[in-house]
Amino acid sequence: MAGHSKWANIKRQKAVVDAKKGKTFTQISRAIIVAARNGIPDPAGNFQLRTAIEKAKAAGIPNDNIERAIAKGAGTLESDAALEEIRYEGYGPGGVAVLVEALTDNRNRTAADLRTAFSKNGGNLGETGCVSWMFSQKGVCIVENVNNEDKLLEVSLEAGAESYEMTDSSSAEVFTDIAGLETLNQTLKEGGFQVVEAELRWIPSNFVEVTDPDQARSLLKMIDMLEGLDDVQNVTANFEMAEDLMNAMA
């Protein structure tokens, strides 16, 4: 499973370069609305909703906003047009494969905004299926303050995890199939581990190394534009870039 953390590490480096602080209120609120709509509007019985609420609280979103988003998803509060989950695919500079997950109430607007972000930075928005075959979706639990790797392995195996990776001396990412994410999250917590985030993540099967500064600049600018769109929830790409090159783009 080596390499699973590459995109996560790139995003962390990029966050430092960009001095960004996670998702916007709009993006997280939309995730809560969809989670409440797709399941019961009770976080105790809806893992997707519970994780969305945890992210909202971590981002400092007020409880009133969270409750309002849940109510919209449950249909007990008047809402705007229904949100639709759509995955877009395309290529960035140098042939980098890009997956974009969006929540939108207007497909035409979202597609136009994405097409602009791609084309202005040397990429192109492609057809459905053009790059998704290069990715597989996994459940990931991000664990901090790991002081016993043997115990982490033992508890992870007990939960049915596929593998884990230490991302530094005291942090790890534990991988499982999509259906096993809630069980993994709960088992790790019961085992005394600090799970700071449980998420579904697209994992690239291969990577494109970016070494040219101009190409790197265009690629990072394109991803910035994509992530800056309110309709976009998540962007995943299959590139590798040296940390010093990424810092030089600041």
CATH 3.40.109.10 correct for 84-133+206-248: no
Q: Same CATH fold, 135-204 and 84-133+206-248?
A: yes
Domain regions of the chain by residue span: 84-133+206-248, 135-204
| Bridge partners (DSSP) listed for residue 46 | none
d(CA 197, CA 202): 15
For 89-127, b where at least 16 C-beta lie within 10 A, e where not — what string? bbbbbbebbbbbbbbbeeeeebbebbeebbeebbbebbe
d(CA 161, CA 201): 15
> What's residue 150's pLDDT?
95
CATH number of the domain located at residue range(s) 135-204 in this protein: 3.30.70.980
Expressed in angstroms, the distance from the first to the final Cα of the chain is 31
d(CA 96, CA 88): 14
CA-angle at 101, arms to 208 and 140, nearest 5°: 75
Q: What is the pLDDT along the chain (250 residues), one digit of tens a residue?
A: 444 567 677 776 666 555 444 457 888 888 898 888 888 889 988 999 999 999 888 888 899 999 999 998 887 777 666 788 899 999 999 999 999 999 888 999 999 999 999 999 999 999 999 999 999 999 999 999 999 999 999 999 999 999 999 988 899 999 999 999 999 999 999 999 999 889 889 999 999 999 999 999 999 999 989 988 988 988 999 998 888 888 887 6
Backbone angles phi, psi at 155, to 5 degrees: -70, -40
Q: Are strands 84-91 and 124-125 parallel, antiparallel or unpaired?
A: antiparallel
d(CA 42, CA 74): 10
d(CA 106, CA 170): 43
Q: Estimate the share of the chain in helix, then strand, then coil, as percent rounded to the nearest 5.
A: 45, 25, 30
CA nearest neighbour of 194 among 153, 158, 157, 152: 152
- What's the pTM value of the predicted model, to 2 decimals? 0.82
Q: Is 98 left (phi over 0), alpha (psi -120 to 50) or beta?
A: beta
